[in-house]
Every structure is written in structure tokens, then in C-alpha cells.
């Protein structure tokens, strides 16, 4: 068991490479969720790395081979602990406030009943944790090695550290399960994300897996939203814009690579209309809107993702090297300043406001029809836009410039990231080897039925139809998710000078752009070489 020290710690190197956007900090004072911005409850390469394979349609899902499990388990209880309400918890089982008539939830209930009947098990969602509280709750449980839960659904950013420290050895290596014990996991099956698993694995070791079992696997993907009514209103001006390529139709603009930050700066200018007080605020009509509280301005992170900003490269031995200071990042820094500070982008107070005043959430303002452009998660449409009166488009994040366009790529050069609240599932070693067959069989069959029942209901029906307003939008969503990428330094931001937060806090400092990038590159290099990598390798090679 103790040899897991070297394995589990090193896993975290690749582990956090799974999905991007580690803009969160583990600072206990943080009170907002980085995916939604709502209060919490409780490199130059344009080819995406670690790309997530797309979900299948219902017809394609029917072709998925069902796992063969020729035994039952006498009513054994399979206990899940999941961090995150909403997408994370309802992926496993419904809570008291979940609408059982909502088609996605109905399919989850159907799936669980089918798995329980086939395997003779009892699926139980035993615990749902809140962001930043889960680690402190589970650490003493795992350190004690006392059986409490079978499977943990961990919040990717905050909780994967449970593979280190006092809890080393708490999870089975999914790529090397106990010899002689029946293991029903088929990690090459299409309902598991093999591409993410490969990013998680390190020297044939991986403790976390995700895929169709988790609705946030795609729900937290970053996209842009466009008010269709406002788009049509400004169509003549858009066609004449310098960076629209001469197109009017938004699909033509996207498909021909003109959906860029350069165009967004023009759109922000042309759509702005002051309400008469000569002060940019949320009462105005806006082309684009952002927050004045820079520390939590996750919209900066999303714009970074669309421009395919990289913080590191890998050397010939696979060791990450910091690459923050380069011409591309310098140019992006300047464009970010221009968009948010010089293009009549409207800035409003952060959620909760300041001095105790109530704040306003930008996606609510977008839903009210007062903003042309917004960036958020794909799942944001489910909660905030289902009753929006104006039609809207779901589009990729804007590219850095037209040079990023790649018509031969499945994503056409558009890039994005997944939110860091994606559940990563781990099997606790405290269950003992005798329960491995029941737990792995349950996970495998739940993932299979998620692929053929839950995913079509959530992705194909809810996200593509109920929460989009245009029949051409589904093809955009498919294209967007082909561009998911990740970056080592970005994912480890909280351990590396919170580098993603530096962009948020300093994008208004136009005269310091070059110096800031140099400084960040130097600081992160020091923390990487003399801190994080050393700690990981030291832990990895400990023999006990």
C-alpha cells in the first residue's frame, strides 16, 4: 500500500491535465463558483491536446456494446460520495429538489433501477459535498482507512489532492487492479473518456476516470452566447465590419474563421447604447459585458481558452517547461486590454456587489435581452436561458485572430476548456478486494446506460434542443467540443503562483504587459522546478 506514495503523487501531474480552467484558488476566502460566477453553496500550438471525444447520438448509442457481467451481488450497497450539487450529484442519483419529471432526471432514475435489478445492488448517494468543504471532510476518513464510501466523485480542482499526503494509498490504480480479483471496468469502452484517462495516467497509473457517467463532463464546456435578435438588428453593420470577412450570417462568420477577438471588439463598440446617464452600467445596452471584481472574473479565463493560450510546453522527456513569456501571450494580453478596457465593454459589479449591495449576474442580463455577447458554460443555458424571450445562438469562444483558423481541423481551430468541477471518480481501497467486483460492475453498467439513455437526454435533447433556439446550433456544439484542450501549468495554477489569477488581476495594466509576463514566467519557473515537481517526484519515489 505504501508504494502508492510515489504513484499517487505523480498521478496528480497528469491528473490535473484532464480538463482545463484551473482558475480557482484553494483560498478559503473564495466564495464564488468558477464555472458560473454565482455564490457557492455551503504555447502556440493550436491543436487541442487531451481532447475529449464527442458524445454520440441516440442512434449511435444503440451500437455501444453492453458489458457482459454474469453475476449478481446479493443486494450489496454501493455508496457514492460526490462533491457538487446539480450536474455532479444528479449524475449519480436524484436529490429531494431534483424534478423527477425532467427528462434527464427520469433517465437517471431509469438507469439506476435497471442496474440495481440486473446486478442486485443498491445504489446510494450517501454524501454530497460543497466546494472547498469536501477535502476537509474526506481527508480524515480516508486517512483512517475505515470503510465509509465505495466511490468518490471528486471536484477536479479542489479535491484531487486527496491522492497525496495523509491519504496516499486511498484509491485503487484503475490501470492495475488487484491480481486475481474480477474487475469489470473496460476503460476502452466509449462511455469512458479514454483521452482524459490517458491525460490522467502516469507510468501506467491512474486513479480517476470520468465520462458519460458525469453530466458536467460536457455541461461545463465553455462557449459563447449571442443574442440572435440583436445580431439581426446590426447585420448591415456586421457585414461591413473590418473583421467579419464580409459575411452577415453568424454561421458563415464562424465557419470561415472570422469569429475572433478582433470582431468582438467591433461588436462591443457597435452594439453599445447608453441609457442616458453617460455612464457604462448594466442599464445600458451592451455588446459585451464583464465584471469589475477582477479576482473572480472568470470571463478572462474563458477568453484565454478561446485564444488557445498556453502556459507550458513539454520537453523530450515529458517534463513541463514554463512558456508564459512569448510573443503570442504578449499580443493576447494587449487584445484583452483593448476588448475589456477600450472597446466600450460594460463593466458591472461582481455578484454580491460591494459594501453589501446586491450584485447582478451577467447571464441574467443576457437573458433579459440587453447584451449581444456572453461567455459562459454550456450548462448555463439550462439554468438561466430556458425562458429567454429573444432567441440566441451557442457559438465557439472567439479565436485570437483569423490565423488561428484551421479549416482541416474538426474544431476548425476554435478551442475551449472544461470547467474544473467535472467529477472524477475514484474507487476507495478501504472497500477491500472482496467488494471490487460489485463496485466495478456497478460503475461499468451505470456508465453504459448513461451513454445510451442519460447522455442522449441531456446532451442531444436538453442541451442541443431545449436549450438552443436554432436548428443549426447542434453542429456548432459538436465542433466546439472537438477543441477542448488542457495545459499543465494552467491546471496547477493554485500551486504555481496562481498564474491564471494574474491575468484577471492585471489585465488593466497596459504599460506593464511585457514586464508582467516576464515576471510571471520567472516566478512560475521557480515554483515549478524548486517546488511542485520536486514535491511530486519526492513523493513518487518514496518507498515504504
Neighbouring-strand partners of residue 347 = 290
Sign of CA dihedral 421, 93, 144, 444: negative
Q: What is the pLDDT of residue 419?
A: 80
Judged on CB neighbours under 10 Å (0-12, 13-18, 19+), 40 is middle
Cα distances from 508 to residues 247, 338, 342, 360, 370, in angstroms, run 32, 9, 10, 22, 25
**Strands of 222-227's sheet in order across:** 346-348, 286-291, 371-377, 222-227, 392-395
Distances (CA, A) of 402 to 256, 258, 344, 480: 9, 6, 22, 16
Residues 159 and 135: their CA atoms lie apart, in Å, by: 6
Residue 38 has which C-alpha cell? 454565482
pLDDT tens for the chain, residues 1 to 544? 433 333 333 333 333 333 333 333 333 333 344 444 433 332 334 433 333 434 444 555 568 999 999 999 999 999 999 998 888 999 999 988 888 988 899 999 999 999 999 999 999 999 999 877 888 899 999 989 999 999 999 987 777 777 766 777 888 989 889 999 999 999 999 999 887 676 666 556 778 898 899 988 878 889 999 999 999 999 999 999 999 999 999 999 999 999 999 999 999 999 998 888 877 777 788 899 988 777 778 899 999 999 999 988 888 877 788 999 999 999 999 999 999 988 888 888 776 544 444 556 888 889 999 999 999 988 888 778 878 888 999 999 999 999 999 999 999 999 998 887 889 899 999 999 999 999 999 999 999 999 999 988 887 777 666 667 788 888 898 899 889 887 777 767 777 888 888 888 888 888 898 999 999 999 999 988 887 777 666 545 433 3
φ/ψ of 121, rounded to 5, equals: -125, 170
> Which secondary structure element, helix H or strand E, spans residue 78, and what is its range?
strand 76-83
* pLDDT of the residue at 39: 33
Instruction: Classify residue 471 as exposed, middle or buried by CB count within 10 Å of its CB (0-12, 13-18, 19+).
Output: exposed
Contact between 174 and 209 under an 8 Å Cβ cutoff? The reply is yes
C-alpha cell at 510: 497596459
pLDDT of residue 356: 44
Q: What confidence score (pLDDT) does residue 360 get? A: 62
- Cβ burial 425-451 (10 Å sphere, 16+ → b, else e): bbbbbbbeeebbbbbbbbbbbbbbbbb
Angle formed at CA 282 by CA 279 and CA 285, multiple of 5 degrees: 85
* pLDDT of 41: 31
Rounded to whole angstroms, the maximal C-alpha distance in the chain is: 75
Cross-strand partners of 289: 346
Asked whether the beta carbons of 520 and 512 are under 8 A apart, the reply is no
* Among the listed residues 234, 260, 266, the one whose alpha carbon sits nearest the alpha carbon of residue 342: 266
Confidence (pLDDT) at 474: 82
**C-alpha span between 321 and 22 (Å, rounded):** 18
Domains contained in the chain, CATH given = 4-18+67-219+419-467 (3.40.190.10), 222-416+495-536 (3.40.190.10)
- Give the pLDDT confidence score for residue 543 in this predicted structure: 33
What pLDDT, on a 0 to 100 scale, did the predictor assign at position 29? 35
Amino acid at each position: 500500500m505504501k508504494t502508492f506514495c510515489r504513484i499517487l503523487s505523480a498521478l496528480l501531474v497528469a491528473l490535473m491535465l484532464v480538463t482545463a480552467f484551473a482558475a480557482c484558488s484553494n483560498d478559503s476566502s473564495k466564495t464564488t463558483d468558477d464555472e458560473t460566477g454565482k455564490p457557492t453553496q455551503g504555447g502556440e500550438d493550436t491543436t487541442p491536446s487531451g481532447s475529449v471525444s464527442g458524445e454520440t447520438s441516440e442512434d449511435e448509442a444503440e451500437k455501444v456494446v453492453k458489458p457482459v457481467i454474469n453475476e449478481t451481488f446479493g443486494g450489496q450497497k454501493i455508496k457514492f460520495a460526490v462533491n457538487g450539487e446539480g450536474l455532479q450529484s444528479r449524475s449519480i442519483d436524484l436529490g429531494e429538489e431534483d424534478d423527477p419529471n425532467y427528462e434527464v432526471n427520469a433517465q437517471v432514475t431509469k438507469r439506476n433501477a435497471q442496474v440495481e435489478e440486473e446486478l442486485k445492488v443498491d445504489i446510494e448517494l450517501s454524501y454530497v459535498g460543497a466546494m472547498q468543504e469536501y477535502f476537509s471532510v474526506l481527508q480524515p476518513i480516508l486517512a483512517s482507512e475505515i470503510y465509509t464510501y465505495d466511490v468518490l466523485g471528486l471536484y477536479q480542482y479542489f479535491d484531487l489532492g486527496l491522492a497525496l499526503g495523509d491519504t496516499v494509498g486511498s484509491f485503487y490504480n484503475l490501470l492495475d487492479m488487484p491480481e486475481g480479483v474480477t474487475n469489470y471496468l473496460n476503460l476502452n469502452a466509449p462511455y469512458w473518456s479514454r483521452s482524459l484517462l490517458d491525460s490522467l495516467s502516469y507510468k501506467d497509473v491512474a486513479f480517476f476516470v470520468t465520462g458519460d457517467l458525469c453530466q458536467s463532463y460536457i455541461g461545463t464546456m465553455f462557449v459563447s452566447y449571442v443574442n440572435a435578435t440583436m445580431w439581426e438588428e446590426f447585420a448591415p453593420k456586421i457585414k461591413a465590419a473590418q473583421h467579419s470577412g464580409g459575411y452577415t450570417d453568424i454561421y458563415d462568420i464562424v465557419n470561415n474563421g472570422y469569429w475572433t477577438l478582433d470582431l468582438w471588439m467591433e461588436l462591443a463598440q457597435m452594439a453599445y447604447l447608453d441609457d442616458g446617464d453617460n455612464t457604462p452600467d448594466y442599464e445600458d445596452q451592451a455588446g459585451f459585458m464583464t465584471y469589475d471584481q477582477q479576482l473572480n472574473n472568470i470571463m478572462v479565463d474563458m477568453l484565454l481558452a478561446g485564444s488557445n493560450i498556453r502556459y507550458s510546453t513539454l520537453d523530450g522527456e515529458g517534463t513541463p517547461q514554463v512558456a508564459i513569456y512569448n510573443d503570442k501571450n504578449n499580443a493576447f494580453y494587449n487584445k484583452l486590454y483593448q476588448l475589456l478596457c477600450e472597446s466600450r465593454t460594460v463593466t458591472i459589479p461582481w455578484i454580491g456587489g460591494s459594501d453589501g449591495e446586491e450584485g447582478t449576474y451577467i447571464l441574467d442580463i443576457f437573458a433579459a435581452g440587453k447584451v449581444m455577447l456572453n461567455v459562459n458554460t454550456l450548462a448555463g443555458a439550462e439554468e438561466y436561458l430556458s425562458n429567454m424571450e429573444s432567441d440566441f445562438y451557442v457559438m465557439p469562444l472567439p479565436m485570437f485572430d483569423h490565423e488561428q483558423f484551421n479549416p482541416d481541423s474538426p474544431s476548425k481551430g476554435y478551442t475551449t476548456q472544461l470547467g474544473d468541477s467535472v467529477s472524477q471518480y475514484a474507487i476507495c481501497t478501504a472497500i477491500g478486494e472482496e467488494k471490487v467486483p460489485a463496485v466495478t460492475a456497478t460503475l461499468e453498467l451505470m456508465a453504459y446506460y448513461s451513454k445510451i439513455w442519460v447522455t442522449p437526454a441531456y446532451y442531444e435533447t436538453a442541451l442541443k434542443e431545449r436549450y438552443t433556439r436554432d436548428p443549426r446550433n447542434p453542429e456548432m456544439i459538436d465542433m466546439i467540443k472537438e477543441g477542448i484542450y488542457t495545459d499543465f501549468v494552467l491546471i496547477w495554477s493554485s500551486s504555481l503562483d496562481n498564474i491564471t489569477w494574474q491575468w484577471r488581476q492585471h489585465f488593466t495594466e497596459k504599460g506593464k504587459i511585457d514586464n508582467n509576463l516576464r515576471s510571471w514566467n520567472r516566478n512560475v519557473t521557480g515554483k515549478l522546478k524548486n517546488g511542485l515537481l520536486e514535491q511530486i517526484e519526492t513523493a513518487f519515489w518514496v518507498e515504504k
